Structure formats: C-alpha cells, structure tokens
Structure 1
Amino acid sequence: MKMMINYFKENKKAFYVYGGLFLLFIALIMIAVIPQNGTPYENIAIDFGFAQVTWYAIFILSGLSMGAYLAYLEFKKVGWDTDLLFDALLWAVPLSIVGSRLYYVIFDPSPSYETFIDVINVNNGGLSIHGAVITATIFVIVWTRIKKLNPWLL
C-alpha cells in the first residue's frame, strides 16, 4: 500500500491530466448522446448548410488533440525538443488522412471508382480509421529512425 501511495505522490500531475482528459471525453459523449431521442442517433453535430460536421469527426479530432497534448507532456518528461513533435504532427496528420482514404478505397466491398477523381473524392465515400492508424504507425517508425530517437522511451 505504501508503494502505491508513493507512486501516486510521484506521478500526481499525470493522474490529474489523464483523469481530466478522461472526464473531458465522457463529457463529450454526454453532449453527443443526451440531446438525442430515439434510434438511430443523429450523426450530424453541426450543420452549416454548405457543410456538415459529424460526431465521428468531432471524436476523431478530440482524440487527436488529446493525444497530441499527452505526447507533448511525454516529450517534455523525456527531455526531447517539443518542436520535433509539432514537426511530426504536421506530416503525420495529412499522411494519415491519405492513408485512411487509401485503406477505404482498397477494402471497399462495393467499389465504384472509375477515375482518379472518384478515388480522392471523400464526399462520395469515406475514410477508415484503420488506415489512419496503420499509416501513423508506419510514420512514427520511419520518423524516429530518421531523427535517431528511441520511440520506446515514451
């Protein structure tokens, strides 16, 4: 028990950060679900008329933001330059979007892509989180080798 108390004292800030982000995520889920009545749930969060923002996009972007913040804290903890993180994010996010679309196009059960424009047109199809995760993982492996960093320190 004494070891647990000492561990909590040494890592108090981390517990507050992780706990706060968890509560933020729960609050986001409640904002998405409580106003809805009936099923299926409405997947449009905000409708601007010319564009719509879905709850899926809000959850993905909030996860990306929370992950970037946690990575920033880990970079500071390890003693790495945080500019490296932001440089990596500038490459990883767009590449993950491209990887997400490619994964969707490759594994689409009913492909109807006749031209290159059909392949890159996300309005007439979608994205896949699996492709984004795979692309981001490959990017982290390549990026850490180029920068000569040990990813296991994080």
Structure 2
Amino acid sequence: MNAFTDYLAFQFASPGPIIVKLGPLTLRWYGLLIATAVLTGVMLSQYLAKQRRLNPEIIGDLAIWLVVGAIPCARIYYVIFEWPQYAQNPGDIIAIWKGGIAIHGAMIGGAIAAWIFARLQKISFWLLADLVAPSLILGQAIGRWGNFFNSEAFGRPTDLPWKLYIPPNQRPWDYLKFEYFHPTFLYESLWNLMVFALLLVLFFQGIQGKLQLKLGTIFLTYFAAYSTGRLWIEGLRTDSLMLGPLRIAQMVSLTGIVLGLAGLAWLYLLNRGLPDTVASAPEPSFTPPELPNNE
C-alpha cells in the first residue's frame, strides 16, 4: 500500500513552471494554459451562439473585451490584497506569468466589460452571459492546472493517496517540515468540470424546449454552483487572501451563492425579469432545422 500511495504522490509532483527556454524566450505552463482556456472558451461560446441562431462573430468581439477587462482586474485584485509583498518588489506587479491572479477579480472586470459591450451592441447582457458561462467554468477548470505547475494554491498537509508534493522553497513557513499537501487545484478543477457539465445540460435542454429557461438562468446557476465549490475548497488552502481573520474568497463566495440563488428566485418564484442592457430583451428560442422533403 505504501508503494502504491508513493506512486500516486509522485504523479502529483510538479515538473516546474517552465516548458522550454530558448535564449531570452521562456514558454511557461501558466501562460500556455491561460491562452488555451481563452481560445477554447471562445470556440465553445461561438458554437453555443450558433445553436441559438446568433452571429458567432459577436462572441469573438466580446472575447477581446473580456480579456482586456478580466485579466488586469484579476491581477490588480490579487496585488491589492498581497500589497506588503509587492511593495517590496514592485517589479513583480506586472509579472503575471509567475502566477497570482484572482478569479473573483476577473469576474468583476469581465462583468463590467461585458455590460459595457452589451449596451454598445444593444444586445441583452444576460443572453451573452448565458452563452459565456459554460466557457468561463471550463476555462477555470483548465487554468487551475497552472497552479499545479507553479506549485501554488495548495491546501493543508495531508497523507491522502492523491497528496501533492511541494518543493521546500514553495512551502509556507508554518509548514516547512511537511512535504505533501492537499491538491486543491485538482479539487477545484474537477468541481468546475462538474459545473460545466451541468450548464451544458441546462443549455441544450433549454434550446430544445425541454426546459423553459429565462434569460440569466445559466449564468446565475454558474455563479451559485462555482461559489459553492470555492467556499469549501478555499477552507483547505494555506495561501488565502485575507482580510483580518477572514478569507476573502470565502466571503465573496458566500455573496455569490446568495446572489445566484436570489436571482434564480427572482426569475422563477417571483416570475420577474433581471435588469438588462436592453429595454425588453427577447427570450431565447429554438427553431428546429427544416427536414428535407423526400416526397
């Protein structure tokens, strides 16, 4: 049994953050995974847009706004709450390739960018949000593996068979004598994949008319479901952003659960629509393709 657990532990030992280094050029896993998440998300959202009979090019335009809004805000959010560290090394503020972005900051920046984009395009914000939500959670599932290669965002020490080895220079001072930790990056990645599957089921059940979904349902489900997973996973981590004795991510996740469930209650229990960027956003509909006439 010890040999088996040691084998599994070896599987969860990061090979390091760098893929290849050619002279002054360095290709890092973190950057590659972020790029992969963005490109995969754009292609998926464009496909979903086609299923709703929308021009997929609008997703490509929106993606630029989301990247410009989300990534800088994700970094700023992280730097603000880790300011003592960056105050001593201001050159590292822009070193995003070393890790250190906060998904909640990305959500804030992306939501603001998407709202402005929707108003300029005179399209429903919630329609866009429903199309993008599955891509967001899939991108988060992919991006979490960047934490693995950087040996960061891990949990407390553990002896579980799926334990993660962390090099001494990456361990918190309080845990220097420990070698193996909870792979919280893996927990969150798997949780996000389950949420992704749920959102896809809702989406296709909706466009096929098997479920009568209101605009915003898929995004609010994403918000509540992701926040639920992040709430308990964050409790395992050793590197949480803190506000006094409180873990910021848990506070934000609790807020996300409440807002997500409140929004769903507003839609279905009170039968009301969500505030939108257009005066009267049309509900999505699905028109089956015409079958060829073989007569």
TM-score range normalised by the length of the shorter chain? 0.5 to 0.7
Aligned runs of 1:47-58 on 2, under 5 Å? Answer: 47-58=21-32
Confirm or deny that 1:76 pairs with 2:50. Answer: yes
Shift of the 133–60 alpha-carbon distance from structure 1 to 2, 3 Å rule, reads: farther
Aligned twin of 1:5: none
Which residues in structure 2 correspond to 1:32-51 (within 5 Å)? Answer: 39-51=13-25
Letter in 1 for 2:111: T
Q: What 5-or-longer segments of structure 2 have no aligned partner?
A: 1-9, 132-295
Deviation at 1:144, TM superposition (A): 2.2
Change (3 A) 1:82 1:124: closer
Structure 1 unmatched runs, 5+: 1-35
Q: 1:61 — aligned with what? A: 35
Q: Alpha-carbon deviation of 1:122?
A: 2.0
Give the aligned partner of residue 101 of structure 2.
Answer: 128
> What displacement does 1:66 show?
0.9
1:121-143 CA-partner distances (Å, limit 9, x unpaired): 32696540422233113322332
Q: TM-score, normalization: structure 2?
A: 0.34
Trace 1:2-151 onto structure 2 (pairs within 5 A): 39-108=13-82, 110-113=84-87, 118=91, 121-122=94-95, 126-130=99-103, 131-150=105-124, 151=126
CA contact (8 A) 2:49 2:55 kept: yes
Counterpart AA for 1:107: F
- Distance in 2, matches of 1:91 and 1:72, equals 15
CA contact (8 A) 2:30 2:99 kept: no
After superposing the two structures, state which structure 1 stretch, 82-91 or 99-108, moved more: 82-91
TM-score (normalised: structure 1): 0.59
Q: For residue 118 of structure 1, report the CA deviation from its aligned partner.
A: 4.0
Describe the superposition over 1:53-94 as per-residue Cα deviations: whole angstroms up to 9, x where unpaired: 222222221111111001111222222222322222222212
* 61-70 vs 84-93, greater mean Cα deviation: 84-93
Q: Assess, with a 3 A threshold, how the Cα gap between structure 1 residues 40 and 126 changes in structure 2: closer, same or farther.
A: closer
Q: Is the 8 A contact 1:101 1:126 kept in 2?
A: no
SS at match of 1:110: helix
Could you say which structure has the greater relative contact order, defined with CA pairs below 8 angstroms and 6 or more residues apart? Answer: 2
Q: Aligned equivalents of 2:36 and 2:93: distance in 1?
A: 24
Show the counterpart of 2:292.
none
* Cα distance per residue 1:19-55 (max 9 Å; x no partner): xxxxxxxxxxxxxxxxx97834322112223132222
Corresponding residue for 2:275? none
Name which one, 1 or 2, has greater alpha-carbon Rg: 2
- Shift, 1:106, TM fit: 0.7
Q: 1:105–1:119: 8 Å Cα contact kept in structure 2?
A: no
- CA distance, structure 2, for counterparts of residue 53 and residue 63 of structure 1: 16
> How many pairs does the alignment contain?
118
Between structures 1 and 2, the one with greater helix share: 1
